[in-house]
Structure 1
Amino acid sequence: MKSLAAALLALAVALPAASQTPPGATPDNDPYIWLEDVDGARAMQWVEGQNAKSAARLEKDPRFETFLAEARGIFTAKDRIPTPRFRAGGIDNLWQDDAHPHGLWRHTSVESYRTASPAWTTILDVDALAKAEGKRWFYKGAVCLKPAETTCLVRLSNGGGDAVELREFDTRSRAFTAGGFRFAEGKQYVEWLDPQTLIVGREWAPGELTESGYPMVLKTVSRTGETKEVFRSQKSDVWAQPVVLRGEGGRTDGVIVQRGLTFYESEYSLLTDRGLVRIPLPAKAQQQDYVDGQVIFTLQEAWGGFQPGALIAYELAALKAGTAKPQLIFAPGPRQAIQQVAATDGQLVVALLEDVKGAVDVWDYAGGRWTSKRLPLPKDANVTLVDTSPKDDRLFVNVESFLEPNSLWLADGAAGTAAQVKALPARFAAKTHLVEQFWATSSDGTKIPYFVVRPKAAKLDGSIPTLMYGYGGFEVAKPPIYMPEAGKLWMERGGAYVIANIRGGGEFGPAWHQSVLREKRQLAFDDFAAVARDLFARKITSARRLGIYGRSNGGVLTTVSMTQHPELWNAVVVESPLIDMLRYHKLSAGASWVGEYGNPDVAEDRAFIARYSGYQNLKPGVRYPEAYITTNTRDDRVHPGHARKFAARLEEMGVPYLYYEQTFGGHANDADPELNARRWARHYVYLAQKLMD
């Protein structure tokens, strides 16, 4: 699927000064630095007080219980599509509902999965495990030994964060292996080399992590406990990760070491008996998969005659011999972008965007040539890969759009066929709305696409309550998706929804992303404001009825939009956010994102970051919209101190705001279905108060 670096996005992407403090505040003159103490008594007392005030406002609203019931019905529905994962010749799924909020890891056959009522076998009851051990365990996947895939390393998160404990598990006996491999909690990578040996990246000794908080030392670990260091990165790097290349029958054909120099720049080397052998690549390249003896990469910059965004292959045998030359597989056009790459047993699968709509191509390698065919899937929809089979050429694909619920398709890459196997029932009345795609003109003349989902019958007089979403970072595209909670709680009540495909995302490939990196970031914020003004010009909505929402990197967007253009919106939802951009690199995984934003410790970078950083640019006397700021105590990716300090700064200035911090669940905020339902109920009560009342 996506590269390991991209998987850490999900990407889906901290410092208040007193009123008189200028941009460039340091911890020494930041009166709210104490709010960065995640579990500190003073900080948690502040959180409890804020939560109580916000709950009184939002959860006492007459609409809250209705919104909560509707959201709970969505997130705990029994007729959801169970997300499939190929394993051991069958299908795995993690199932969460009101009776199992932490989840059941379960298994069935492919044939049974295709029926309306699959016969599931529970492998691990995560709720029972959490209760027995007195922990808030959440299942974060398993790394299983091929080809049988019955001996696995289970990833368990205590609270839903990125840090996990690893334990060996036997799926046949459905029990943890006595005396098996086990690693204490931490951010760590692990792959099987053979039944007796692992390659692991973790904090082996105190401090053996990069400045970003990720592993920097890779070791092989045997069942006897013997360890051998095979790679050591630098503290200033982002991470060191192992990639095991699986050949026929699950054998280990080779091991690649990725040294992450920055979030976007890496060195790739083969681990051989002679030591590390560098793979000739530009710094901005991502390893994607391995199939038919070919190691697959995407290029994020022009190199060797290849354009940015190109998909290329190296023959592994030639790499080992030092004679390899890259071969072009596919070069996206100007309105295309590669979103996902994955291998089946003998095919390479590529999910694309074309004008921000999805398609899937399957590539075959034979006779030294790559040839492709397009899978017969619905058009004008978002199409994403769910999983690919390592034992044959089958793959699952998800298809969705704003008004059409998710459907799951089982395709055969070799045959070029695809058939729908499951479909989500409609969660809201979609016939009242229509979807339009428009283009706004940004400050430098660039055309910015955006989607509008609005009521058909509403007058275009600027009165439609509208929620606008944006992200604009890390080359993460935001195509149309089916959002049942937005449909039920917002659109059914007459609201409109907008996705602004601003620069920084991956809608049109690497160039769309790289055009707003570092000192050019202001253009992404300009794009967002341009979409708002275009909505006003089309009389779809007005500043009185427009609200914005962003999370993670989107928190940079929403807080900058709030401080630079308070006149454009009447509601601002800031979730799991980055905000203090002069200190972000000191908090949690922030140092890994210097390639995106710049380094505040470098004077030139600090100057351009300080010009937009939402935390430092709040100004006394400005009439800001009342924001709703929310985060999670157990978010170990984006530090909760960002959200806390922004709220404290607003409080100091006498600016109205709401703040709520969930105490577990991690960065995604969706580990527990009940808490997720309450989260969205609060969101939409706030938005209804601000934009519909």
Structure 2
Amino acid sequence: MVKRALISLGAGVGISAMGAGVWLGLRNRVVAIPPLFKRKARPMITRPAALGAPQTGLVLSPKEYPIVRRDESVVDNLHGVKVADPYRFLEDPDSPETRAFVDAQNELTAKVLPQCETRENFKELFTSLYDYAKQGTPFKCGDRYYYFYNSGLQQQYVLYSQQNLDSPAKVLLDPNTLSKDGTIALKDTEFSEDGRLMAYQLSSGGSDWAWIQVMSISPDGEPNVLPDKLELVKFSSLAWTHDHKGFFYNRFPKGGKEGQELGTETNINTNQLLCYHKVGTPQSEDPIVWHTPAQPEWMTGASLSDDGRYVLLYVSEGCQPANRLFIVDTHELTERTPDGLIDWKAYDVNTGRKKLPVKKLVDNFDASYSYVANEGTTFYFKTNLKAPRYKIVKTDVARPTPPSSWQDLVPEHEKDVLKGALALKGDALVTRYLRDVRGELQLRSLSTGALQQEFELESVGSVTGVSGQRKESEFFFSFTSFVEPGATYRVDLSAPTGTKHVPTLFKRTELKVPHNPADYETKQVFVPSKDGTRIPMFITHKKGLKLDGSLPTLLYGYGGFNISLEPGFSATRLTFMRGYNGVYAQASIRGGGEYGVGWRDAGSLQHKQNCFDDFQACAEHLIAAGYASPATLTIQGGSNGGLLVAACANQRPDLYACVLGQVGVMDMLRFHKFTIGHAWQSDFGSPDKAKEFEYILPYSPLHNVRVPEGGSRQYPAVLLTTGDHDDRVVPLHSYKLIAELQHTLGGPESAQRNPLIIRIDVRSGHGAGKPTKKIIEEAADSFGFAAKCMRAKWVDAPLPKPDQPEAATPTPASANA
């Protein structure tokens, strides 16, 4: 099994009683507790914001907003609280009314964006900065090396292979040839142990739905696509058995409505199945080897131990950092085919002759466990059991014992967070840590866990990819920072034990246009939040800027799902800093994984308000420190970060000029009813439970839109963005919120002049696999809009024209080291 990455490559309120008959909301939004009703839930009453937002440089009359029907008859009684949902009809993505809504909103946005004079300047500079050769961390499978590569402006990354690191590269798979508009993307790949077969997932239009195909690879790297095609695949693992005959994968029993294009439906995703596919056979013959019918919302996955003997089965509930863990010893599988191979059909949960002999290692959701390596029956796992910053433990699976008795190999660090571990040949173990949100890389002994070496890394940045194999002595890693696209290094551990291993520069990424990272500075500050917790925030900008409160400033956050926001290069943000003398700030608020599970827990469930308090404290710091004023501050977030910025707009509109909310979760009372939304209850809680409803309602963006009581009595300018094929956070969240914003704040007597608009992209999803053209267009629209709102001036000089045309084919991976 190839280990390609330690991380992915490339966003409490108190409960108070309230009196009977108190009404919440404005302008026909009904949220009420009737008199004499025996209340089951007592959500805190949230008042409108005290002060409104500053008037921005972009003005839109409320008369311009489309007229959207409100169905006042739709009122839910949730635990004794009546909640109106007048835009529920927008939940049907295919209705004529929803399509008309999308057209009308896009038409309004198309009228507003041309008023943003620097939009074309941004697009031109961003295109130039984005047009550089991007290469992923190399990895080895079988006898060949592989890497992903984009020559600059290709719509999708291309997968290349090489016989060795100095030989010419060959195209193995080019997704750009699969569609005219570049919207078919390669989601995942998994190679057989001998490297002669590859299973790969493709998706269309940004949807989470995928299909799996298989190709054979000749010894000289020539691909041959096989007839196999597996459909209804979503959130799938891929794991080849070491006989090279087939692989495990996940699918769902069904997709959307009959005749409906997958990706636009809102059906809830349940009853995921783990199947085994034998290459060369139809999907209809694939046995279901594992499922959890008693718990339809659980998710499953499989992986193989490095020696191929054991199948590891994982079960997760929602997105909590915890899973159950089971193991199957393939030597105990007695059902065989005539040619001596395991007959997986015999273990089909519905039609098989035998039950799969599954051994339980962990049968609860007390902690997470991920496989690191094994030596025979001695297994090594990364876990957060009684270790919120993670540790590595070992156990003998031949004699299962409770996880609490497993031996610590690498104990939990007192401050640093263990983010990943990679076992290599012999006794080598590479570990990656976060130290105050900065990447660290170490070499340890697999047998003892002892630290042998810390690798020296450049400046403030992140380790963005690590690859290696258990049977090899080499590994690769990539490193990046806010203003450097990064570099990839190779480390050879074949030297004797005790030798200091120095990473060798394998390839440094260079922009095609003049760029000097030394012209920029990055500092990390720790901002006290409302409860005194110190929140880390990185601030990056050109050197020599005068901190007089006038600088266009972008504050970005996420704060959820144990995901860490680490330093990383973005051509979008570099364009903002370079084009406008902008300041980029990245806040590592609670809810993320920057300091381990405890940090995540402090921003989840009943503590979710901490995320908003943290983010608002960071905004206040940027203003107090002289970087920005409310009139020059934009906040941005996507997905859970879209929820973040929308909630902050409701709670403190006076702090911001502009809000960029991307594919956000906005209806916190119905999020769990669509596609995979049920899995987020581990972070948000369940609105179907009275106690959890009490802390969800007070921050739900859709249900807390109110005219500010004082000041300008208006909201910041708002640009929501979503895609019609987003089946992760379905677009109805953004549809309903923009309709509510325009209705509540855009009435005939309204003071609202800052625009409230939405950009709805077609054949676009949650973000993964988005074509380069769409990335550029959305960034130019979003940042051009924000710049106009902040009254930012374009300051960057025109770029010199390149002397040579773009190369049509890439150079070998090591040529530019």
2:445 matched residue in structure 1: 364
Q: CA deviation at 1:229?
A: 3.5
Corresponding position: 1:537 with 2:546:
no
Task: Give the 3-state SS of the residue equivalent to 1:279 in structure 2.
Answer: strand
Alignment partner, residue 115 of structure 1: none
Select the residue among 465, 474, 478 that pairs with 1:394. 474
Q: 1:168 aligns with which of 214, 237, 253?
A: 214
The answer as to whether partners of 1:298 and 1:309 remain within 8 angstroms in 2 is no
Displacement of 1:164 after TM fit? 0.7
Residue 165 of structure 1: how far off its partner (Å):
0.5
Answer yes or no: is 1:418 the counterpart of 2:503.
yes
Give the drift of 1:72: 2.1
Cα deviation for residue 497 of structure 1 reads 0.7
Partner of 1:137: 184
Deviates more, 1:569-578 or 1:449-458: 449-458
Please tell me whether the aligned partners of residues 232 and 252 of structure 2 are also in contact (alpha carbons under 8 angstroms): no
Report the alpha carbon displacement of residue 543 of structure 1 after superposing the two structures with TM: 1.0
C-alpha distance in 2 between matches for 1:73 and 1:110: 32
TM-aligned CA deviation for residue 571 of structure 1: 0.8
- Give ranges in structure 1 of 5+ residues lacking alignment: 113-117
Counterpart of 2:568? 481
How does 1:268-417 map onto structure 2 within 5 Å?
268-272=325-329, 273=332, 275-280=357-362, 283-293=366-376, 294-302=378-386, 307-315=387-395, 318-322=396-400, 326-346=406-426, 347-366=428-447, 371-413=451-493, 415=495, 416-417=501-502
Q: How many residues align?
A: 667
- Alignment of 1:93 onto 2:147: yes
TM superposition shift of 1:585: 0.9
1:495-644 aligned at under 5 Å gives the runs 495-620=582-707, 622-644=713-735
Per-residue CA shift, 1:408-432, capped at 9, x if unaligned?
Answer: 1112355533112212225645444
Which among 230, 246, 261 is matched to residue 305 of structure 2? 246
Give how far 1:238 is off: 4.2
TM-score (norm 1): 0.88
Describe the shift of the 1:358–1:206 C-alpha distance in structure 2 as closer, same or farther (beyond 3 A): closer
What displacement does 1:670 show? 5.2
For residues 236 and 75 of structure 1, what CA distance do their matches in structure 2 show? 45
Q: 1:562 to 1:2 in 2, by over 3 A?
A: farther
* Higher relative contact order (CA closer than 8 Å, sequence separation 6+): 2
Residues 40 and 175 (structure 1), Cα distance of their counterparts in 2 relative to 1, 3 Å cut = farther
Provide the residue aligned with 2:122 in structure 1: 67
Summarize deviations over 1:639-683 as a string: whole Å, max 9, x none: 111111111111212153121122124212652111111111112
The letter of the residue matching 2:312 is I
How big is each residue's C-alpha offset from its partner over 1:618-642, in whole Å with a ceiling of 9 and x where there is no partner? Answer: 0145411111100111112111111
Distance 2:214 2:505 in 1: 35
Structure 1 residue identity aligned to 2:475 = L
1:277-317, CA deviations, whole angstroms, 9 ceiling, x for partnerless residues? 21147622131432444534333341xxxx322322334xx
Which secondary structure does the structure 2 equivalent of 1:38 belong to? coil
SS of 1:320's partner is: coil
Task: Look up the SS of the partner of 2:178 in the other structure.
Answer: helix
Q: CA deviation at 1:584?
A: 1.0
What residue number does 2:31 align with? 22
Q: CA RMSD in A?
A: 3.2
Query: What code does the residue aligned with 1:258 have?
Result: Y
With over 3 angstroms needed to count, the CA separation of the structure-2 counterparts of 1:206 and 1:550, relative to structure 1, is closer
- Residue type at the aligned position of 2:457: L
**Measured at CA, do residues 403 and 205 of structure 1 come closer, stay the same or move farther in structure 2, by a change above 3 Å?**
closer
**Is the partner of 1:486 in helix, strand or coil?**
helix
Give the corresponding residue for 1:443.
530
Taking the aligned partners of 2:407 and 2:737, their CA distance within structure 1 comes to 49
CA contact (8 A) 2:384 2:391 kept: no
Residue 92 of structure 1 aligns with an amino acid whose one-letter code is Y
1:177 and 2:226 are equivalent in the alignment: yes
Corresponding letter in the other structure for 2:786 = L
Matched, 1:459 2:541: no
Specify which of 110, 135, 140 is matched with residue 81 of structure 1. Answer: 135
Task: Work out whether residues 162 and 168 of structure 2, in 8 Å CA contact, stay in contact via their aligned partners in 1.
Answer: yes
User: Paired residue for 1:157, among 203, 208, 220?
Assistant: 203
Q: Is the 8 A contact 2:156 2:769 kept in 1?
A: no
Indicate if the aligned counterparts of 1:491 and 1:497 stay in contact, CA closer than 8 A: no
**Distance (Å, rounded) in 2 between the aligned partners of 1:233 and 1:48:** 42
Structure 2: how far apart are the matches of 1:76 and 1:583? 41
Corresponding residue SS for 2:778? helix
Looking at structure 1, the residues matched to 537 and 317 of structure 2 have their Cα atoms a distance apart, in angstroms, of: 34
Q: Look up the equivalent residue of 2:302 and give its one-letter code.
A: V
Partner AA of 2:781 in structure 1: R
Report Cα offsets for 1:441-483 as digits up to 9, x if no partner. 1111111121111343232222221110111111111122222
Provide closer, same or farther for how the CA distance between residues 549 and 567 of structure 1 changes in structure 2, counting only shifts above 3 A. Answer: same
Compared with structure 1, are the counterparts of its residues 65 and 19 closer, same or farther at alpha carbon in structure 2 (3 Å cutoff)? same
Q: How far apart in 1 are the matches of 2:161 and 2:4?
A: 25
Gap change, CA 1:648 and 1:17, over 3 Å in 2: farther
Shift in Å, 1:4? 13
**What TM-score comes out, normalization by structure 2 length?**
0.75
Aligned with 2:325: secondary structure?
strand
- The verdict on how the C-alpha distance between 1:55 and 1:329 changes in structure 2, with shifts beyond 3 A counting, is farther
Percentage of pairs with the same residue = 24
**Correspondence for 1:658 among 734, 743, 757:** 757
Asked if structure 2 preserves the Cα contact closer than 8 Å seen for 1:17 and 1:29, the reply is no
Give 1:667's aligned amino acid: H
Answer yes or no: is the 8 Å Cα contact 1:72–1:674 preserved in 2: no
Label 1:40 to 1:362 Cα distance change in 2 as closer, same or farther (>3 A): farther
Higher deviation after alignment, 646-655 or 67-76: 67-76
Q: Which stretch of structure 1 is more off in the superposition, 556-565 or 398-407?
A: 398-407
AA paired with 1:90?
Answer: R
Amino acid at match of 1:162: D
Letter in 2 for 1:22: V
Corresponding position of 1:31 = 86
Shift of 1:211: 9.1
Alignment partner of 2:790: what SS?
helix
Q: CA 1:278/1:659 → structure 2, altered by over 3 Å: closer, same or farther?
A: same
In structure 2, the residue matched to 1:203 is: 252
CA distance in 2, matches of 1:215, 1:171: 34
Shift of the alpha carbon at 1:154?
A: 1.8
1:494 — aligned with what? 581
Equivalent residue, structure 2, for 1:674: 773
CA distance in 2, matches of 1:4, 1:235: 34
Q: Are the aligned partners of 1:505 and 1:513 in contact in 2 as well (CA < 8 Å)? A: yes
Which protein shows a greater Rg? 2
Distance verdict in 2 for CA 1:355–1:127, change over 3 Å = closer
